Structure 1
Amino acid sequence: MTTRIGLDYQGFQRWRRPFEVGFWVVMLTANTVFNGLVSWFDHVYHSSGTSNLEPWVWEASSSLVILALVPFVVAATRRWPLRFDTWRQSLQVHVLLTVPFCLVHVGAMVGLRSLAYLAMGSHYRFGNVPVELFYEYLKDFRTYLSFVSLISFYGFFVRRLQGEASLLAEPDEGPPVEPVDRPERFLVRKLGKEFLVAARDIEWLQASGNYVNLHVRGRDYPLRATMAGIEERLDPSRFLRVHRSYLINLDHLAEIEPLETGDARLTMRDGAHIPCSRRYRAQLRERFGETPVGA
């Protein structure tokens, strides 16, 4: 059972990457222009000791370094996500990460400013290092945690659009409808709606951090579990581990292509290519041999 919604996840995926990159570029560009104008009025219009270019050099150098650090913040947020069950531990880690974030930001920013001043025939002075560094840290502390909050909120929106899977819970009263240790169906939540996905409809699974993505008819539903844990709960006659990060549904396997390295490339019925490492290839030999399977 599916529900039609105004914003489709697959359509969103087509422009997701340009949107994400463009968002940071546009936001930091607008921030640079705004802060540059404020700084220009403060240091040029209201005084005579600063040249017209200096405020723009200050803001542009800072924004360029922060833009370069955005992938680091994104990676850190994925590694330590702010979720209801782990937000306290993750927040502690992110508070500690504000220190290297600030040190890299300030160091690279001062380097860019020094080069810019040198090109203008001048010399850049950072000022009293402990005082200025503490001042910059206060700003970077706010910036880093603001970015983490923004990325976390965006990730929450994407997950709501994409949908999240979970195992069916054992009922409070009475026997479970199906075996809890080997579920026949998974519960998927999407934009406030819930529907069931049959285990046999899962085409392949991929490990992704603390999650395992269930690939079903062109969609990925993240399930909070380990690959080893979910492998134990799937039917071994249907599902087979082929890689450290992949499990496949043998009913959806179309072709096995041996590689010179001893690994193999698996082609699924939906056209997806799944790696098969030498460690697991023997199991495929036992099931199918080396010839293409499926139709």
Structure 2
Amino acid sequence: MNPAAPTAYERFQPWRRSFEVGFWVAQYLVSAIGNSITVGMDVRRLHLQFAAWQPAVWEASSSVVALALVPAVVWFTRRWPLHLDNWRRMLPLHLFGSLVWSALHVAGMVAIRKAIYAGQGLHYDFSPWWWEFGYEYLKDVRSYAGIVLAIEGYRLLLRRLQGEASLLGVPDEGPPMEAVERPERFLVRKLGREFLVAANDVEWLQAAGNYVNLRVRGHDYPLRSTIAGIEGKLDPARFVRIHRSYIVNLDQVASIEPLDTGDARVHLKDGTSLPGSRTYRGGLRERIGEGA
């Protein structure tokens, strides 16, 4: 790959936040408008005694609260991601999450509707609440599932564009090329292509939920692992833990800047600065001294 030519993933980064926010805003705006029109048509067709503004309030209140809850689902799925290899274990947790999401959604939209109705001199009735909540939950559990699938599908696409690393496993036949317990290389899959990355080329590693990002020549490759799990597989003579979320290649360390808090800032040769925790600061200084 030509390092001078930005990849599709890198070109997307400046627009990523705008795209993500815009997607959900557009999603719920279109949903509110479309549902308001169809509900209004049903009201007129059935000759129900509702003013024209009422269906718009119902749908808009639902969409506004659902949109406000999207960041909570993003956080929840980042903390407890739902994948093909763990869906049986995570399904009960996400069923509970859907119940909480529905309770917040219903409480928010009912509060908005009551406030608007009161402003019009009317009363919004949400009773019996247990029956109405059951009805809303049957819709909300599908909405929650759709949000989770959209988020996880989007993350999977980003990982494919970015490139996803894995440990070299034991082959189907014959002995492994290298010790699986402490591999010298990582296998990276990117847009249908596979290539090997030498472990010593990894500049630093950062924990990111259920993944650890490998930093290699300016690119990040997520590896499905915990930071503690991958630490045990790296060469301790070359890699050292500097923070609960960071491991650094000692060959990349330029200097250590002590901070008044007792922590440190670790400066790398490429100009990158990483946080150093006081818990690991002494070990880092000792290791650098040994190398010197």
The TM-score, its normalising length taken from structure 2, stands at: 0.92
For residue 141 of structure 2, what is the amino acid of its counterpart? Answer: F
1:81 positional shift: 2.2
User: Does the aligned pair in 1 maintain the 2:250–2:288 contact within 8 Å?
Assistant: no
3-state secondary structure, aligned to 1:58: helix
Give distance in 2, aligned partners of 1:179 and 1:134.
Answer: 55
Tell me which residue corresponds to 1:16: 16
3-state secondary structure, aligned to 1:221: strand
For residue 166 of structure 1, what is the amino acid of its counterpart? Answer: S
For residue 27 of structure 2, what is the amino acid of its counterpart? Answer: M
1:221 positional shift: 1.0
Moved over 4 A (4+): 1-7
1:2 positional shift: 7.2
Tell me which residue corresponds to 2:276: 276
Instruction: Give the RMSD, CA atoms, in angstroms.
Output: 2.3
1:198 positional shift: 0.9
1:175 positional shift: 3.2
User: Does the aligned pair in 2 maintain the 1:207–1:246 contact within 8 Å?
Assistant: yes
Unpaired stretches in structure 1, ≥5 consecutive residues: none
1:44 positional shift: 4.7
1:3 positional shift: 10
Paired positions, count = 291
User: Does the aligned pair in 2 maintain the 1:2–1:195 contact within 8 Å?
Assistant: no
Unpaired stretches in structure 2, ≥5 consecutive residues: none
Q: Residue 7 and residue 280 in structure 1: after superposition, are their counterparts in 2 closer, same or farther (change >3 A)?
A: closer
Tell me which residue corresponds to 2:200: 200
Give distance in 2, aligned partners of 1:84 and 1:288.
Answer: 42
3-state secondary structure, aligned to 1:197: strand
Tell me which residue corresponds to 1:215: 215
% identity of equivalent residues: 55
User: Does the aligned pair in 2 maintain the 1:44–1:52 contact within 8 Å?
Assistant: no
Deviations 1:49-99 (A, max 9, x none): 212211111111111110111112222222332322111222232122221
For 1:229-240, list aligned pairs within 5 A: 229-240=229-240
Give distance in 2, aligned partners of 1:260 and 1:283.
Answer: 18
For 1:170-185, list aligned pairs within 5 A: 170-185=170-185
In the alignment, structure 1 residue 148 sits paired with structure 2 residue 148: yes
Give distance in 2, aligned partners of 1:189 and 1:195.
Answer: 7
Q: Residue 5 and residue 130 in structure 1: after superposition, are their counterparts in 2 closer, same or farther (change >3 A)?
A: farther
1:244 positional shift: 0.8
Tell me which residue corresponds to 1:72: 72
User: Does the aligned pair in 2 maintain the 1:253–1:268 contact within 8 Å?
Assistant: yes
In the alignment, structure 1 residue 111 sits paired with structure 2 residue 111: yes
